[in-house]
Structure 1
Amino acid sequence: MVTLQNHVGKISFSANFFTELIGNTVTSCFGVIAMNVRGFRETLTAALPKAKKREFARGVKVDYKDGALTIDLHISLMYGVNINAVSKSIINKVDYTVRRATGLDVEKVNVFVDAIRV
């Protein structure tokens, strides 16, 4: 949970807010087929019916340190797209969307292309 203090009061952002916002942003980018699970724990969680996250929220990890966010994304791309161009587009779009929605600084966006699908 990220909490900001301003002149009016306190604003708290949940981890679920960030995964939904970022997941929606990434899946709307050209060439992205799906968000992938990040590791063994998330793979097991995805298999449980009551603990399932929405598909676009999988593969998103957000860390908040020293007033800035670090975002890790695990994605699958469609075959034939320019991986470098799509990755740069995702980085710019996520950075812009998070800054605009929350006012928080984004230190880094890491994109991990886990699969290419036909």
Structure 2
Amino acid sequence: MIKFRNHIGTIGISTGYLRQLISDTAESCFGVAGLNAYGAKQGVSAMLKKENTTKGVIIRQDGDELIVDLHITVNYGINVGAIVDSIIHKVNYVLTEQAGVNVKSVNVYVDEMKG
């Protein structure tokens, strides 16, 4: 649970909801082939579960702002810089508009390319 304070009080948002929202947003961007499991916890989870739709999404909280790390696979032949810029802009917009949270940064790591 991630908690934010505003002028009305404290708001709690499930990390599962935020991970799914970020995952769906990133995967809908042109040129993204998928998300990659990152770290020991996600790696073991990916091996044990057949379908993990939020793998590759790491969320950290810094005060009332979120820091998002995404580990992705891109399609070969696509401009990687344009894909990364598109993901950063879209994830930032969706989190701000749909979830109402402030985003400090969105970090996108391209782990591999699919041909």
Q: Same fold by TM-score, threshold 0.5 exceeded? A: yes
Please list every run of 5 or more consecutive structure 1 residues that lacks an aligned counterpart in the other structure: none
Which piece of structure 1 moves more, 97-106 or 16-25? 97-106
Q: Report the RMSD for the aligned CA atoms in angstroms.
A: 1.7
Please list every run of 5 or more consecutive structure 2 residues that lacks an aligned counterpart in the other structure: none
Structure 1 residue 54 displacement after superposition: 2.7
CA contact (8 A) 2:4 2:64 kept: no
- 4+ residue segments displaced more than 2 Å: 3-11, 52-55
Distance between the aligned counterparts of 2:65 and 2:7, measured in 1?
A: 20
CA contact (8 A) 2:65 2:104 kept: yes
Aligned positions of 1:72-111 closer than 5 A = 72-111=69-108
Q: Structure 1 length as normaliser, TM-score?
A: 0.88
2:68 aligned residue: 71
Structure 2 letter corresponding to 1:98: L
Secondary structure at the counterpart of residue 78 of structure 2:
coil
CA contact (8 A) 2:74 2:112 kept: yes
Work out the number of aligned pairs and report it: 115
